[in-house]
């Protein structure tokens, strides 16, 4: 094999390894289009951040995918990094028909700049495969899907 062919072969192998399973990438690339077919079985989180520095996260998760005790830990659901610490309000958890409904509140203050907010549900609940997230701030609204098979969020309009 010539040196050039060998280099091209290694580059292609590297790209294939970096991309992972083609089915997974196809799944992630097309998932926003088919998401509505199973939306009724998906965990949802709605995060609202207000101008006065209050962050509220509301979670709806199938009961079969999470234990009530684990939902009681704010850090299992959402993590916040800010210039100063935020006051954590005890979560509220309600037993719905087939879903746990929970609410998490953080009082950060109007002058306390948030540096990072991360949704931790997939990291802490192995049974959950997908989370539909809606984030609303005074400046923007974002809607996306987090799926275990995808290495990045799937943004939806």
Domain boundaries, given as residue ranges, for the chain: 35-156
Q: Does 21 have pLDDT greater than 70?
A: no
Q: What value does the mean pLDDT of the chain take?
A: 83
Q: What is the DSSP secondary structure assignment for residue 111, as one 8-state letter? A: T
On whether the CB atoms of residues 62 and 98 are closer than 8 A, the answer is yes
Residue 19 parent element (H or E): helix 3-19
Percent of the chain with pLDDT over 70: 84
Percent of the chain with pLDDT over 90: 59
Q: The tokens of 26 are what?
A: 């196809």
Q: What is the per-residue pLDDT for 23?
A: 46
Round to whole Å and give the CA distance between 80 and 74.
10
Reported as a single tens digit per residue, the pLDDT across 75-102 is 999 999 999 999 999 999 999 889 999 9
The predicted model scores a pTM of 0.79
Q: Does 133 have pLDDT greater than 50?
A: yes
Reported as a single tens digit per residue, the pLDDT across 111-127 is 998 888 999 999 999 99
Kindly give, in sequence order, each residue whose CB lies less than 8 Å from that of residue 141, ignoring residues fewer than 6 positions away: 134, 135
Q: What is the per-residue pLDDT for 24?
A: 57
Reported as a single tens digit per residue, the pLDDT across 134-146 is 999 888 899 999 9
Question: What sign has the CA pseudo-torsion 57, 61, 63, 66?
Answer: negative
Among 5-14, 20-29, 82-91, the range scoring the smallest mean pLDDT is: 5-14
3-state secondary structure of 114: strand
Q: What is the per-residue pLDDT for 134?
A: 93
On whether the CB atoms of residues 133 and 146 are closer than 8 A, the answer is yes
Q: What is the per-residue pLDDT for 18?
A: 41
């Amino acid at each position: 094999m010539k040196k050039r062919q060998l280099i091209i072969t290694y580059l292609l192998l590297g790209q294939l390894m970096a991309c992972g399973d083609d089915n997974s990438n196809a799944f992630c690339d097309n998932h926003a289009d088919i998401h509505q077919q199973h939306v009724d079985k998906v965990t949802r989180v709605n995060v609202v951040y207000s101008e006065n520095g209050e962050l509220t996260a509301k979670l709806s998760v199938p009961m079969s995918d999470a234990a009530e005790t684990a939902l009681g830990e704010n850090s299992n659901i959402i993590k916040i990094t800010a210039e100063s610490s935020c006051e954590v309000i005890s979560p509220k958890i309600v037993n719905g028909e087939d879903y746990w409904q929970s609410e998490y509140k953080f009082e950060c203050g109007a002058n306390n700049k948030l540096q990072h907010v991360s949704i931790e549900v997939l990291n802490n609940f192995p049974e959950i495969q997908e989370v539909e997230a809606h984030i609303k701030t005074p400046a923007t609204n974002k809607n996306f899907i987090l799926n275990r098979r995808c290495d990045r969020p799937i943004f939806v309009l």
